[in-house]
């Protein structure tokens, strides 16, 4: 894994070294320091279905996902009006400090350039013509689903309390589970083999796992200790993000509990004490346990799909470990 | 030309008909009603270098440019805080009315999806493998140059009066002349033939012509009658857009004239009378005549390049007419 991560970082660094102009440095800095989660999963997908040991195509195409992800984060931070990203000022804030009044516009355009560079890096990946053709639809599907998911989440956030758990899970799949887990694995597998059964098997494994990953994210965003997760706890509540946690809570809360949630959820200036009140409501309603059960179910579905799949040997072990890691991580 | 325009409109309509989801309709509406200037030039480039009469590859790839352009306009309107586009509310304004407080974020993401769809339509174009390979770099170059140009213009606008005519012309080439004229022609030519001399010849023709096109745009934006140009006159001045006109004016204005320009340029609420004052300063300084001379020079360079090029017959006539039209149009 470390070898893979280093190789991907090298490809990204080499790409940025080929770029000049006013945006080369800020976009490189915005991209560096990511976990390279999706590129690594692309390589995992390649190896899982028996892709050859020389995994250059998977690493190059995977590296292009890191640029795409960094582009998404730049625009996400604009949409969420976030102040920081990876411990530094968010790009629109940094640009606002430099060009007062134009930070948002400049960051929109900077993100656009990074999206173009994602495509350029994908185009430069050393693929055979048939690999190119096969993976094109996967990339298009991924981009469409995640960007539309982001749109649906933003629109949903404006609607006030959302009780529709199915709609929330659908948006979470689009924005997070499928984007972060399913598409990268399927991309690597599609690249490695012309046999459509292989990516289809990974797809059956990845979709429930992606949901478990997202549900864990929701739990950690509200209930983890900040010193463990590294994230400011409660921001999902302050943002009024439509999560499964909140949908479950709205469905069963009594009038007093509703009053607490209404008073604090979606308020950027909610205090730590007010967030703790909301947490207490969720706990009293049994929401964390309910979500843990949902994660268990999805983890089990993923493992069953893996066991019915043709993936065998060390690749199966890798995916098994991955499933446990994503579903039961504590940060 | 009308046949070409109709075919391109059909390809765009067919693409949107294949799309569902909350953004399919607003993005179709944002794309319809454009002049299809760049797709048509792509087809012109194809025919100019002897591309076969069956011009499907050029029309499909050209149609993808219309989606890219519409994406750029959505983000441009956010950057410029524009209210309307093509006689309708700008997308971020329409979305703001529907989702108060989230219009900008939603329009950023909607634009992103259209950029993804541009790539998808380009990928679907019926190209041979060698055509795909040749045009990929052209598309990447175009996207990089125009998006970076947009960034440089936004940053420049924040600097106050810009006297550096070379920098202004470089940004205008990137944002407008090359983007609107050079790249589409070169794209069509590169698609039509493996001989690199053909697009190179069109490049020599298009670069000065693109500059003439942009300079004419600057003139029309300040001096045309709105009933002729269809554009609100003076908006370039109200936006404080760094144009060649202003650079020339700043270079030679006396203190009184500087005072007038400083008082009104870059003020969104400048009245028609104040805009007229600025226009009077530019005229007194001989700026419109100077810019007309610059247009003449560039038109001449373009025509000379055309005459030295291997383009002959009806294609040469078409390009000749195009040059006169772009350099000397009145709207």
B87 confidence band (pLDDT: 50, 70, 90): confident
Residue B157 · residue B242 · CB < 8 Å: yes
pLDDT digits (tens, 9 = 90+) for A247-285: 999 999 999 999 999 999 999 899 999 999 999 999 999
Q: Where are the alpha helices (DSSP H) in chain B?
A: 2-17, 24-31, 37-48, 56-79, 91-98, 103-124, 129-157, 165-172, 183-192, 197-223, 226-229, 235-239, 244-252, 255-264, 272-284, 287-308, 313-328
- Of the candidates B192, B188, B185, the one whose C-alpha atom is nearest the C-alpha of residue B306 is B185
- Of the candidates B99, B86, B37, B28, the one whose C-alpha atom is nearest the C-alpha of residue B62 is B37
In this predicted structure, what is the pLDDT of residue A198?
93
Residue B228 has pLDDT above 90, yes or no: no
Could you tell me whether strands A88-89 and B84-85 are parallel, antiparallel, or unpaired per DSSP bridges?
Answer: unpaired
pLDDT digits (tens, 9 = 90+) for B113-127: 999 999 999 999 999
Q: Is B84 helix (H, G, I), strand (E, B) or coil?
A: strand
At the topology level, CATH places domain B1-126 in: Farnesyl Diphosphate Synthase (1.10.600)
From the number of C-beta atoms within 10 Å of its C-beta (0-12, 13-18, 19+), residue B136 rates as middle
CA A82, CA A73: separation in Å to the nearest integer? 10
> Chain B closest CA to A40's CA: distance in Å?
23
B197 confidence band (pLDDT: 50, 70, 90): very high
Identical fold between B1-126 and B174-331: yes
Within 8 A of A100 by CB-CB distance, chain B residues are: 158
Domain ranges of chain B: 1-126, 174-331
Q: Which of A22, A116, A157 sits opposite B144 (nearest CB)?
A: A116
Where would I find the beta strands (DSSP E) of chain A? 84-85, 88-89
Q: Which of A104, A111, A155 sits opposite B106 (nearest CB)?
A: A155
Residue A287 has pLDDT above 80, yes or no: yes
Residue A117 · residue A19 · CB < 8 Å: yes
DSSP one-letter string for B234-287: THHHHHT---HHHHHHHHH--HHHHHHHHHHTT-TT--HHHHHHHHHHHHHTTH
Within 8 A of A157 by CB-CB distance, chain B residues are: 102
In this predicted structure, what is the pLDDT of residue A6?
95
Average predicted confidence (pLDDT) for chain A = 94
Residue length, chain B? 331
Whose tokens are 């470390």? That residue is A2
Within 8 A of A123 by CB-CB distance, chain B residues are: 136, 140
Instruction: List the single best residue of B102, B103, B119 to mutate versus A (max A Cβ within 10 A).
Output: B119
> Chain B closest CA to A287's CA: distance in Å?
29
B85: part of which helix (H) or strand (E)? Answer: strand B84-85
- Report the percent of chain B where pLDDT is more than 90: 87
According to the CATH classification, is domain B174-331 in 1.10.600.10? yes
pLDDT digits (tens, 9 = 90+) for A189-238: 999 999 999 999 999 999 999 999 999 999 999 998 766 555 667 888 99
In this predicted structure, what is the pLDDT of residue A229?
53
A86 confidence band (pLDDT: 50, 70, 90): confident
- Of the candidates A66, A21, A68, the one whose C-alpha atom is nearest the C-alpha of residue A40 is A66
A263–chain B Cβ distance below 8 A for any pair: no
* Cross-chain Cβ contact A140/B152 below 8 Å: no
B106–chain A Cβ distance below 8 A for any pair: yes
* Cross-chain Cβ contact B78/A157 below 8 Å: no
Within 8 A of B25 by CB-CB distance, chain A residues are: none
B82–chain A Cβ distance below 8 A for any pair: no
Cβ-proximal residues to B156 (8 Å cutoff; 6+ apart), any chain: B162, B167, B168, B171, B242
pTM here is 0.94
A108–chain B Cβ distance below 8 A for any pair: yes
* Cross-chain Cβ contact A148/B22 below 8 Å: yes
Cα dihedral B87, B92, B94, B97 sign: negative
Q: Compute the radius of gyration of chain A from its Cα atoms.
A: 20
In this predicted structure, what is the pLDDT of residue A231?
61
Residue B315 has pLDDT above 60, yes or no: yes
> Chain B closest CA to A267's CA: distance in Å?
14
- Of the candidates B291, B281, B204, the one whose C-alpha atom is nearest the C-alpha of residue B243 is B291
B233 confidence band (pLDDT: 50, 70, 90): confident
- Of the candidates B202, B195, B152, B205, the one whose C-alpha atom is nearest the C-alpha of residue B176 is B152
Mean of the pLDDT values across residues A311-324?
A: 94
CA B292, CA B196: separation in Å to the nearest integer? 33
In this predicted structure, what is the pLDDT of residue A18?
97
Residue B331 has pLDDT above 90, yes or no: no
């Amino acid at each position: 894994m470390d070898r893979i991560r280093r190789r991907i970082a090298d490809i990204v660094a080499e790409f940025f070294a080929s770029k000049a102009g006013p945006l080369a440095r800020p976009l490189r800095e915005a991209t560096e320091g990511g976990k390279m989660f999706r590129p690594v999963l692309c390589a995992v997908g390649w190896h899982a279905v028996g892709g050859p040991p020389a995994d250059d195509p998977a690493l190059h195409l995977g590296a292009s996902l890191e640029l795409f992800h960094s582009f998404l984060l730049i625009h996400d931070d604009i949409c969420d009006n976030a102040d920081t990203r990876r411990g530094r000022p968010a790009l629109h804030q940094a640009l606002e400090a430099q060009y007062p009044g134009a930070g948002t516009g400049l960051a929109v355009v900077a993100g656009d350039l990074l999206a173009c560079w994602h495509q350029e890096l994908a185009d430069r990946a050393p693929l055979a013509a048939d690999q190119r053709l096969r993976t094109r639809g996967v990339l298009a599907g991924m981009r469409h689903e995640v960007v539309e998911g982001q749109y649906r989440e933003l629109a949903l956030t404006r609607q006030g309390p959302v009780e529709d758990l199915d709609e929330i899970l659908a948006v979470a799949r689009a924005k997070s589970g499928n984007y972060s887990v399913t598409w990268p694995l399927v991309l690597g597998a599609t690249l490695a083999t012309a046999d459509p059964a292989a990516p289809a098997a990974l797809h059956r494994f990845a979709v429930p796992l992606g949901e478990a990953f997202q549900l864990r994210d929701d739990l950690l965003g509200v209930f983890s200790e900040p010193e463990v997760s590294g994230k400011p706890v409660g921001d999902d509540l302050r943002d009024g993000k439509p999560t499964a946690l909140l949908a479950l809570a709205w469905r069963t809360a009594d009038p007093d509990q509703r009053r607490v949630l209404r008073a604090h959820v979606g308020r950027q200036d909610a205090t730590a004490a007010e967030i703790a009140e909301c947490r207490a409501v969720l706990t009293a309603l049994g929401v964390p346990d309910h979500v843990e059960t949902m994660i268990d179910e999805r983890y089990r579905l993923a493992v069953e799909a893996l066991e019915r799949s043709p993936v065998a040997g060390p690749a199966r072990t890798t995916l098994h470990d991955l499933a446990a890691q994503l579903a039961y991580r504590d940060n």
